[in-house]
Amino acid sequence: MRDHALAGGGVADKKVRKPARASAPGSASCAPDGADAQKTPGKRKRKRRRKHGRRVFVRGDRSTPQAEVLVPASNQAEPAQPASAPAVREARHRDDQRLYAALDLGTNNCRLLVATPTKPGRFRVVDAFSRIVRLGEGLSLAGELSDAAMDRAIEALGVCAQKLEGRKLAGLRLIATEACRSAGNGDTFIKRVLSETGLKLEVISRETEARLAVSGCSSLVTRETEGVVLFDIGGGSSEIALIDTSRRRSPRLAEHIVSWTSLPVGVVSLAEKFGGHVVTPESFEEMVAHVAAMLDKFEGRDRLSHLGDPSRFHLLGTSGTVTTLAGVHLDLPRYDRRRVDGLWMDRESVDRMIVRLLSWDFDARKANPCIGAERADLVLAGCAILEAIRRQWPSERLRVADRGLREGMLNEMMARDGVWRRTKRNRSAA
């Protein structure tokens, strides 16, 4: 299972412990069926005595993202069956692993991560869920969440509730963003979620949303970086944070935010206003101008102007727009987070991808494996927001982040509990 890096270098840990040899079918045994039958009973007993007290690996069910689980060898007297997902979770609890969960219900997506801290600044994902629910569909026109949109979101939240049920969690945070902030019936929806799923959602402010985005992407800002324009293009709003690290650098990147704004526009609302199925170069420029007018009202937009040369700062995007753009850029046969997260794209590459997407009709966008039917009518609206940001802060490089609010919440909860400080102390004592 790959670690998410949050504090220092963005490269995930790749060390994998090799399973110890075990005789039980369905566990870590490498011997062919019937191999033990050729051995005398005495030899088999001696082998068991030698293994007494050791820990062996038992493979988990493929339905769970946790690949391996540690079980005492003394429990393996009888042939073991492949572990089910609940059994894997119970074994994890017996090992006293600290689990944290973070859920982000946005205007377009519902996402959940369950993770356990590993090395300082890192965590391993134990379970995950993501579904496009389009909670904000029609919100910009009606001012309220529709019944169909709320039903879709509650269905997805029900899946999340099932994944959280029975887990012993050291930390849990469940947030909702722009759709619930701006909808006239947002409070009613939050109460319905609690009643039908048992999940108590916290509607966060735009400032908190910007801070969490920065916290979630902190490991992608390298030590030599002097300035960053970090943006999160959402479904109903877009958060932008200007980060200045030219004078000093602390472990908490959010402390270096010198200015931030939340634009009341996202891919869903912009596509509903200008159209998302048929997008011409002319209508695309109208969308860019619409967003640019909002940026002109951002009073803190010049807080990185002292850096001068565009090579001294870069853009950092965390959203479905930039990850989709990166997937198309790489010509991926299917979306692959490992290749996208942390990818650098130069200015010319981004230009080419936007022109390429503009040349495709709706069906061509829908057919691309990194876009698909669920994003085909939204991706160019996202590109228009991206283009307005690029024109406001012309940089030579864009870094792509497939991470964001959930990672930010996990990072803050784990740091608050000091789990990584204890890890350092334990290693020093050893």
The CA-based angle 271-272-275, given to 5 degrees, is 60
pLDDT at 149 over 70: yes
pLDDT at 75 over 80: no
Burial pattern 17-39, b for ≥16 Cβ within 10 A else e, equals: eeeeebbbeebbbeeeeeeeeee
Tell me the pLDDT tens digit for each residue of 334-365: 999 999 999 999 999 999 999 999 999 999 99
Beta strands at 397-401 and 313-318: parallel, antiparallel or unpaired:
parallel
Highest mean pLDDT of the ranges 7-11, 26-30, 50-54, 268-272: 268-272
Q: Does pTM surpass 0.85?
A: no
Tell me the pLDDT tens digit for each residue of 80-122: 334 445 544 444 443 347 999 999 999 999 999 999 999 887 8
Which of 70 and 325 is assigned the larger pLDDT? 325
pLDDT at 219 over 80: yes
Tell me the pLDDT tens digit for each residue of 368-418: 999 999 999 999 999 999 999 999 999 999 999 999 999 999 999 999 999
